Structure 1
């Protein structure tokens, strides 16, 4: 029996601290990071005997080295209790877990480097980074308490009580929660220990949830997605009998124009900087590229959300994408911007974001062979001709004109249905009947013929 995949998703809960609370949060993060640096040194020194322990065994083993108690007055590193007076036990255990993870990662990477797993022959060895930008993990009841929190009636009146460091002692402070998501309203979701994220730009709780999707009873249809250049996503909902019950074009043109306008400004600034020759310095226009990356993330989330909404509306069995892994763009005509447009094609981002959202609802994403999805007509009439002036338009052998992306979405949906129906995946094999293309090149008409044979 296949074990269900564990789905972890994280919500951001916005906080509204006062200026005094911001100072307290800053002190708390600072002392927590100091404790992590201290513990990394201890754990790395004794890693030979700690490496073989499980996570539950490692924490008490480290505490025996540095945490003094009445039953354990003699410890090897009494400096920790002296430097971190009244350090809360659950903050200490969270810091131990983080420090052990840092040391384990470093040791693994160093062993791989010693074994010769290097990108370059003269690659420098990895370094143990003790100055990490970590944030304190909060344990319920010991580090944080929620007041006025009702999952059945979510409001913006929830208050959060956090144990913070005021410079000399650990005290409780109450802060307002001003923004919530909806994952806490799902009864099957389990809230895990959040982290307090505080810096110059942000103040919020990063709240992970262990999501347990409910068992679905889907309808006999799939949601097929054709990712393109002219249209970001073309969607078709195809039933097992080959009937298209829904079509949709998704193209956030405004966000794409904002991104392309910024990228165009980079080439203008580069020409002004270099002139006819020269070299750009490292990090040239890095802020512009970061902004474009955030716009791409926004586009990916908007498109993937709408895809999942359609699949949920029609209770689809699966969402079907083309397998475009390893696909590389070919250059267009001279002085054309086709290559640049392909670099802005968010095929992997949209697919990954869709799978994250859909798997949380208990659905599955499948991939089909991408060859000839747009080249073959969905009605089985053969290859299509693309209009040289309007590449989004396809002409069938019968003379009928059709949207090329929508034609591709129909064929993707047909291949997805056949892949679900045939439990043993036959993609890549040739059909036994002569004159037929490989089964992975199936078109929508193959579902029609299959349905008619079944009815006969």
Structure 2
């Protein structure tokens, strides 16, 4: 029996601290990071005996080295209790877990480097980074106490002692309202820009009873995503075009400004310095993320509305764009194609609802007519239009979405379908190149 995949999703709970609380949060994170650096050294020194232990065994083993108690007055590193006076036990255990992860990662990477597993021949060896920007994990009852969902009480360091402070929660998501979701230990994120709790949830979606249809997605250049909901009998019950043009124009306008600034900086020759226009590229990356979330959210809404069995994508992994005609911007437009981002964001959202993602062969999805009349001819002036051999003009992306949906249905029902055509039959295209008309033929054979 297949073990269900663990679905972990994180919500951001915005906090509204007072100026005094901001100082307390800053001091807390500062002393916590100091403790992590201290523990990294201890754990790395004794990694030979600590590395073979499980997570439950490692924490008490490290504590036996550095944490003095009444029953254990003599430890190898007594300076820890003196340096971090009254350091809470659950903060200490969170710091041990983080430090052990840092050391384990370093040891693994260094072993791979020694064995010759390197991206480049002159790759330098990895370094053990003890000075990381980590944030404390909060354990319920010991490090934080929730008062409804309006206030949270957090244990903080005031410079002399560890005290409780109550801070207002000003922003929530909705995952805490789902009864099947289990809230895990949050982390306190605080710096010059942010102050929030990063709250992970173990999501357990309810078992679905889907309808006999799939939501097919064709990711394109002219239209960001073209959606078609296709039933098992080949009926298209919904179609939609998703294209956040305003956000795409904002991104492209910024990218265009980079080339203008580059030409002014370099002139006819020369090189750009490292990090040239890095802020602009970061802004464009954030816009791309926003576009990905907008499109993926709408795809999941459609699939949820029609209670689809799966969301179907083309398998575009490893696909590389080809350049267009001379002086065309086709290659640049392909770089703005968010095929992987939209697919990944959709999978994250849909999996949380208990849905399934199906990938089909991308070959000839837009090239073959959905009605089985053969290869279509794309319009030279308007590439979004396709002309069938019968003279019919149709949207090329929508035609591709129909065929993607058909291939998804066949892939889902192949085990129970004895009528599906054989891929070895001479004179016929492979079964993976199915079109929407193949569902019509199959449905007619069943009814006959």
Give the equivalent residue in structure 1 for 2:291: 299
Mapped contact 1:430–1:437 kept (Cα < 8 A): no
Match of 2:411 among 401, 411, 419: 419
Structure 1 segment 396-415 matched on structure 2, within 5 A: 396-415=388-407
Give the equivalent residue in structure 2 for 1:199: 191
Q: Within 2, Cα distance between the matches of 1:121 and 1:239?
A: 53
Deviations 1:333-355 (A, max 9, x none): 11110000000000000000000
Structure 1 segment 172-321 matched on structure 2, within 5 A: 172-321=164-313
Q: Within 1, Cα distance between the matches of 2:223 and 2:122?
A: 45
SS in 2 for 1:69: coil
Give the equivalent residue in structure 2 for 1:91: 91
Give the equivalent residue in structure 2 for 1:381: 373
Mapped contact 1:320–1:365 kept (Cα < 8 A): yes
Give the equivalent residue in structure 2 for 1:27: 27
Give the equivalent residue in structure 2 for 1:67: 67
Q: Within 2, Cα distance between the matches of 1:182 and 1:301?
A: 17
Q: Within 1, Cα distance between the matches of 2:122 and 2:446?
A: 64
Give the equivalent residue in structure 2 for 1:356: 348
Structure 1 segment 144-155 matched on structure 2, within 5 A: 144-149=144-149
SS in 1 for 2:382: coil
Is residue 107 from structure 1 mapped to residue 99 from structure 2 by the alignment?
Answer: no
SS in 2 for 1:311: helix
Mapped contact 2:91–2:138 kept (Cα < 8 A): yes
Mapped contact 2:424–2:430 kept (Cα < 8 A): no
Deviations 1:350-407 (A, max 9, x none): 0000000000000010100000000000000001010001000000011010000000
SS in 2 for 1:268: helix
Q: Within 2, Cα distance between the matches of 1:331 and 1:314?
A: 39
1:67/1:216 Cα in 2 relative to 1: closer, same or farther (>3 Å)? same
Shift of 1:148: 2.4
SS in 2 for 1:174: strand
Alpha-carbon RMSD across the aligned residues, in angstroms, is 1.2
Match of 2:154 among 162, 170, 180: 162
Corresponding residue pairs, total: 446
Mapped contact 1:222–1:319 kept (Cα < 8 A): yes
Mapped contact 1:419–1:425 kept (Cα < 8 A): no
TM-score by length of 1: 0.97
1:194/1:332 Cα in 2 relative to 1: closer, same or farther (>3 Å)? same
Shift of 1:189: 0.3
Is residue 395 from structure 1 mapped to residue 387 from structure 2 by the alignment?
Answer: yes
Give the equivalent residue in structure 2 for 1:134: 134
Is residue 46 from structure 1 mapped to residue 38 from structure 2 by the alignment?
Answer: no
Shift of 1:145: 0.3
Q: Within 1, Cα distance between the matches of 2:202 and 2:148?
A: 22
Mapped contact 2:218–2:398 kept (Cα < 8 A): yes
Deviations 1:31-66 (A, max 9, x none): 000000000000000000001110000000000000
SS in 2 for 1:38: helix
SS in 1 for 2:86: coil
Q: Within 2, Cα distance between the matches of 1:25 and 1:146?
A: 17
Runs in 1 of length 4+ with deviation above 6 angstroms? none
Q: Within 1, Cα distance between the matches of 2:422 and 2:113?
A: 45
Mapped contact 2:189–2:196 kept (Cα < 8 A): yes
SS in 1 for 2:246: helix
SS in 2 for 1:94: helix
Structure 1: stretches of 5+ with no match in the other structure:
150-157
Q: Within 2, Cα distance between the matches of 1:208 and 1:424?
A: 39
Q: Within 1, Cα distance between the matches of 2:157 and 2:188?
A: 13
Shift of 1:433: 3.3
Give the equivalent residue in structure 2 for 1:155: none
Shift of 1:423: 3.0
